[in-house]
Amino acid sequence: MTASSLLRRRVTRFLGRVLVVAAVLAGLPAAGLANPTHAPAMQPGQLIPASDRMSLSQATRMVREETGGRVLSAEEVQRGNRTVYRIRVLMGEGRVRVVEVDPRSGRMR
């Protein structure tokens, strides 16, 4: 897979996700957005509930699809005061790549 096709694939996936979020937001009632008193207040630095986090299996699937490689292992690890998913992937060239995924944002590093 060439670099340009990988970039094109990532951009396409990103735009697809943006469209899904836009569709969901478009379906929200305007009154609910205008009056936030119905939702519990989030304080700065407050942790996101575990139900709003990406699961390890979801992160593994995302990494497999994004890299096109074969997942060798996946584990939850602590990085300071936060949790990340560490996923080892065997790439097509025979090298092993380690990808870290933030379970809250879905960002891959």
Task: Determine the Cα–Cα distance for residues 106 and 28; give it in Å rounded to an integer.
Answer: 23
Domain 46-109 has CATH 3.40.50.300: no
Residue in the block written with tokens 């990494």: 63
**pLDDT tens, residue by residue, 52-97:** 789 999 999 999 999 999 999 999 999 999 999 999 999 988 999 9
* Number of residues that this document lists for the chain: 109
Residues 6+ apart with CB under 8 A from 103: 53, 54, 55, 56, 59, 83, 84, 85
Tokens for 13, please give them.
């996936």
Instruction: State yes or no: pLDDT of 30 exceeds 60.
Output: no
Per-residue model confidence (pLDDT) at position 5: 75
pLDDT of residue 29: 54
User: Of 1-5, 47-51, 94-98, which gets the smallest average pLDDT?
Assistant: 47-51
